[in-house]
Chains A and B, each alone.
Chain A
Amino acid sequence: MKKTKVIKETLLLIVAIFYLSPIYIMLVNSFKNRQELYENVLAFPKDFSFQYYIAAIEKMNFLSAFGNSLYITVISVIFIVILSSMTAWMLARTNNRISKIIFMTFIATMLIPFQTIMMPLMQEMNWIMKTTGIPMLNTRGGLIFMNIGFNTSMAVFLYHGFIKSIPISLEEAAMIDGASKFSIFWRIIFPMLKPITVTVMILNVISIWNDYLLPSLVLTQKELRTIPLSTFYFFGEFTIQWNQAMAGLVLTIIPVVIFYVFAQKYIIKGIAEGAVK
């Protein structure tokens, strides 16, 4: 009895490790020289030199890409949380036709795939730039603006569902005490939204950090590239030297792994909630 259990335990671990074998292949080959790499891709590297990492950091302009990705993700997520929680609260607490229509519009547009609006969106942004001079394209601010637009409907939807489950009596008591709506929201409601705020943040961090298509349309300037963009150009511009390429990919994955290690519990909970919605 005990023995079968041990076998099962090891078997499961082997399956899981095998599942991650692509990560292993990527990792070991980021240290090998050309000859070593072609002798056996699966073998462990003979020595650990970081020369391919240094080359990859330089060619990908990794530090600048990391900074851009971080800046764009953090600012977008902060705005998405603030704006959609406020909007969702108002929509959930005002029971009239207008707020219902607005809410339904938010939900309905969640069906629109990005490819359907990418071209007209770019035309519109071009037009805004030409007529008003506001730099919507080729700026991080413009990309953040569009990230907010694309991600609020899902966030409003999640907040709305959560707020509906909070009893209204608390707010009414504060209202009688003469507090303004602004302070009611920020002092009483927003702290109670913490669990769903974590979910909204996790889902948006993942999708904005990994997004490729929208940034590829908005940002053409080299200095503004995010991590997915610089990876794409890294693979396109240079004839592929696999050891450097693998080192570059390892670099792009490190932030994700760190994030996963620290926020694992919340990520898994957030994914489950976001999927079932």
Chain B
Amino acid sequence: MSKTKNRFWFALFTFPTIFIFTIVVIIPFISGIYYAFFDWDGIAANAKEFVGFDNFLKLIEDERFRHSAWVTIKFTLLALISVNVLGLTFALIVTSTLRTAKSARTMVFMPNLIGGLILGYIWSFIFSDAFSIIGKVTGFESVFYNWLMSPDYALYAIVLVFTWQMAGYMMIVYIAGIENIPYELMEAAKIDGANYWQRLRKIVLPLLMPSITICLFLTLSFAFKIYDVNLSLTSGGPVNSTEMFALNIYNEIFGYSNYGYGQAKAIVFFLIVAAISLTQVYFTKKREVEM
């Protein structure tokens, strides 16, 4: 009696969530794998042609895709460095005893709350107009010109905007780590005569390693999946030079109507994202055991 009653409650509490979740996530994920093996233009009346692994083989020879993959990797590496250097620096500054630290923290985090799409539009104005004026005023016209028009510099523009968006976020995570460092440890080092750099190198950074790992992986995964900023800032241009992975998938499916091929890309995208996250879990778990 009590067992059936328990089952009833279990179902009542979990079923609605599981039902919605299955429809929105599980079924599309499974049928997505199925679509990846077909050649299809997305029009329901047209037949899907089974092509086996051809879509995946095609990826290797696709110039546009290879370029896109390379740009994504380059972007991710640059973002990894700039976001974390800036985020960690800010975190170290705003955890000091300065009275303005708190307001500085509030201000630096602000851009993260604004959606990527809107950030991209704000910066597209800055690059296209403010930069040229700054260039004229300061005389550095070789640096301050419209980066978005240059196939080489457009990528750095995205790195800049992404850094502006994410540095505050990573700062928050680093702050949480810094605040966990025992106060006595720092005091003892100070009494022993260690200066700021020594304390930073020998105490703060080693104890901050867990936070650093988390932030590196978070940035890695956010940067790799970038879409909104890419769309509003450059829409992949000029001439596809900044079309990153997520945007490439979107364009392949909804732009070029290669539903099957685009879906194959999407599956590869998933495998890479999953690999990144699982590596992170592996490293975090490993350290927990060691500690």
A interface residue numbers (CB < 8 A to B): 5, 8-10, 12-13, 15-17, 19-20, 22-23, 25-26, 29, 37-38, 40-42, 83-84, 86-87, 89-91, 94, 99, 102, 105-106, 109, 111-113, 115-121, 123-124, 126, 128, 145-146, 148-150, 152-153, 156, 181-182, 185, 206, 209-213, 228, 231-232, 235, 242, 245-246, 249, 252-253, 256-257, 259-260, 264, 267-268, 271-272, 275-276
Binding site for A on B (CB under 8 A): 6, 9-10, 12-14, 16-18, 20-21, 23-29, 31-32, 35, 42, 44, 93-94, 98-101, 103-118, 121-123, 125-126, 129-130, 133-134, 164, 169, 172-173, 175-176, 214, 218, 225, 227-228, 231-232, 246, 249-250, 253-254, 259, 262-263, 266-267, 269-270, 273-274, 277-278
The residue of chain B having its C-beta at the shortest distance from the C-beta of A126 within the complex is B44
Q: Are B9 and A213 in contact (CB under 8 A)?
A: no
Complex contact A19–B108 (CB within 8 A)? yes
Q: How far is the CB of A230 from chain B (nearest CB, A)?
A: 11
Residues on A with beta carbons closer than 8 Å to the beta carbon of B274: 111-112
Q: A102-B18, A181-B9 are in contact. Are A9 and B169 (CB under 8 A)?
A: no
7 extra A-B contacts, CB within 8 A, seeds A213-B250, A235-B121: A41-B130, A87-B17, A146-B24, A149-B21, A228-B118, A272-B175, A276-B173
Assuming the contacts A16-B108, A19-B108, A181-B9, asked whether A120 and B93 have C-beta atoms less than 8 A apart, the reply is: no
Closest Cβ–Cβ distance, residue A6 to chain B (whole Å): 10
Which of A37, A117, A231, A232 contacts B28 (CB under 8 A)? Answer: A117
The residues of A that contact B94 with a CB separation of less than 8 Å are 12
Chain A contacts for B16, CB-based, 8 A: 83
* Assembly CA distance A42 to B273 (angstroms): 41
Known: A90-B9, A272-B173, A275-B214. Contact between A115 and B269, CB under 8 A?
yes
- Could you list 10 examples of A-B contacts with CB < 8 Å? A9-B100, A26-B122, A38-B129, A94-B6, A118-B250, A149-B25, A213-B250, A246-B125, A271-B169, A271-B173
Complex formed: what's the CA distance from A196 to B196 in Å? 37
Q: How far is the CA of A194 from the CA of B175 in the complex (A)?
A: 24
Find B27's partner among A83, A99, A124 (CB 8 Å cutoff): A124
Closest Cβ of chain B to A41, distance in Å, is 4
In the complex where A94-B10, A120-B29 touch, is A150 in contact with B24 (Cβ < 8 A)? yes
CB-based contact A213/B13 at 8 Å: no
Cα distance, A213 to B230, chains bound together (Å): 12
A123 to B263: give the CA distance in the assembly, Å: 12
Q: Bound state CA distance, A15 and B107, in angstroms?
A: 10
Cβ A253 vs Cβ B114 within 8 A: yes
Which one, B28, B99, B225, B250, contacts A120 given CB within 8 A? B28
Beta-carbon nearest neighbor of A108 in chain B: B274
A residues in contact with B26, CB < 8 Å: 105, 109
Complex Cα–Cα for A145 and B17 (A): 11
Q: Please tell me if the beta carbons of B29 and A90 are within 8 angstroms of each other in the complex.
A: no
- Point out the residues of chain B lying under 8 angstroms from A150, CB to CB: 24-25
Across the two chains, which residue of chain B brings its CB closest to A122? B28
Q: Which residues of A contact B14 (CB under 8 A)?
A: 86-87, 90-91, 99, 102
Complexed CA–CA distance, A181 and B112 (Å): 40
What is the interface of chain B mostly: helix, strand, loop, or mixed?
helix
Contact assessment for A20 and B28 in the assembled complex, using a CB-CB cutoff below 8 Å: no
A22 with B164: CB separation less than 8 A: yes
Contact (A116, B114) CB under 8 Å given A22-B126, A181-B13, A275-B173: no
- When the two chains form the complex, which single residue of B111, B129, B169 contacts A275, counting CB atoms closer than 8 Å? B169
A249-B121 contact in complex given A120-B28, A212-B228, C-beta closer than 8 Å: yes
**B25 near A153: Cβ-Cβ < 8 Å:** yes
Centre residue among B32, B100, B117, B249 by max chain A CB count within 10 A: B117
Establish whether residues A124 and B169, one from each chain, have CB atoms under 8 Å apart when the complex forms. Answer: no
* Contact B133 A40, beta carbon cutoff 8 Å: yes
Given contacts A86-B13, A115-B227, A116-B267, contact A264 B106 (CB under 8 A): yes
Contact A212 B117 (CB under 8 A): yes
Partner of B125, one of A17, A206, A242, A276: A242
How far, in angstroms, from A128 to B94 measured CA to CA in the complex? 52
Kindly report which residue of chain A lies nearest to residue B10, judged by CB atoms.
Answer: A90
Q: How far apart are the CA atoms of A256 and B118 in the complex, in Å? A: 12
Shortest beta-carbon distance from B32 to chain A in Å = 4
Identity of the chain B residue whose Cβ is nearest the Cβ of A130 in the assembled complex: B44
Assess A16 versus B109: contact at CB under 8 Å? Given A111-B277, A117-B32, A275-B173: no
How many Å from the CB of B103 to the closest CB on chain A? 7
Residue contact B114 to A256, C-beta cutoff 8 Å? yes
A148 with B24: CB separation less than 8 A: yes
**Are B113 and A231 interface neighbours, CB within 8 A?**
no
